[in-house]
């Protein structure tokens, strides 16, 4: 007998205790809702706690199923491929248009200002 099967009664007891605790908390929230200081928030919690208790049973069911038939293990020897269209496309650089007359005039104006300021010509691409 496997060790997981020997621990199963303790796990079943844990699931029942957790579900019972959730139902007790639901009852407590319901009594708070019915009291003079209760609000609709208490009613919402009173309706949520039974769902949490149900989740305890669902989680145990899935645990037993994975224990009996575990999901297939991935093959780490093969590279994983990303399907086309899954990731967004990389942005492309904006096309540079030398024919833009306004940009050429503005660059010429900046070059004149640089000469008038006593700076070296900007076409040699040197830094100081």
Give pLDDT tens digits for 91-127: 888 776 667 788 888 988 999 998 888 766 555 555 5
For residue 78, tell me if it sits in a domain. no
**Spatial contact of 94 and 103, defined as CB atoms under 8 Å apart:** no
Angle between helix axes 8-34 and 40-68 (nearest 10 degrees) is 170
**Spatial contact of 60 and 11, defined as CB atoms under 8 Å apart:** yes
Instruction: List Cα–Cα distances, 16 to 19, 56, 99, in angstroms.
Output: 5, 8, 77
For residue 30, tell me if it sits in a domain. yes
pLDDT surpassing 80 at residue 3: no
For residue 31, tell me if it sits in a domain. yes
For residue 40, tell me if it sits in a domain. yes
**Spatial contact of 67 and 4, defined as CB atoms under 8 Å apart:** yes
The residue assigned the tokens 């899935």 is 62
For residue 11, tell me if it sits in a domain. yes
Instruction: List Cα–Cα distances, 30 to 56, 58, 69, in angstroms.
Output: 21, 24, 40
- Domain span at residue 25 reads 3-68
For residue 120, tell me if it sits in a domain. no
**pTM beyond cutoff 0.95:** no
Instruction: Supply 115's token pair.
Output: 């000469």
Task: Specify the number of domains making up the chain.
Answer: 1
Q: Which long-range contacts (CB under 8 A, 24 or more apart) does 37-44 make?
A: none
For residue 8, tell me if it sits in a domain. yes
At 72-92, the pLDDT tens digits run: 887 788 887 888 888 888 888
Q: Which helix (H) or strand (E) holds 111?
A: helix 101-116
For residue 100, tell me if it sits in a domain. no
Instruction: Supply 105's token pair.
Output: 């005039």
């Amino acid at each position: 007998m496997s060790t997981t099967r020997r621990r199963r009664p303790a796990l079943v007891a844990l699931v029942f205790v957790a579900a019972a605790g959730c139902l007790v908390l639901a009852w407590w929230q319901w009594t708070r809702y019915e009291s003079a200081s209760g609000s609709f928030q208490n009613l919402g919690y009173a309706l949520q706690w039974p769902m949490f208790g149900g989740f305890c049973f669902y989680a145990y069911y899935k645990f037993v199923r994975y224990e009996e038939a575990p999901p297939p293990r991935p093959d780490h020897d093969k590279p994983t491929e990303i399907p086309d269209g899954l990731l967004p496309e990389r942005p492309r650089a904006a096309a540079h248009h030398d024919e833009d007359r306004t940009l050429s005039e503005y660059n010429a104006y900046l070059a004149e200002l640089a000469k008038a300021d006593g700076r070296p010509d900007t076409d040699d691409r040197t830094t100081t």
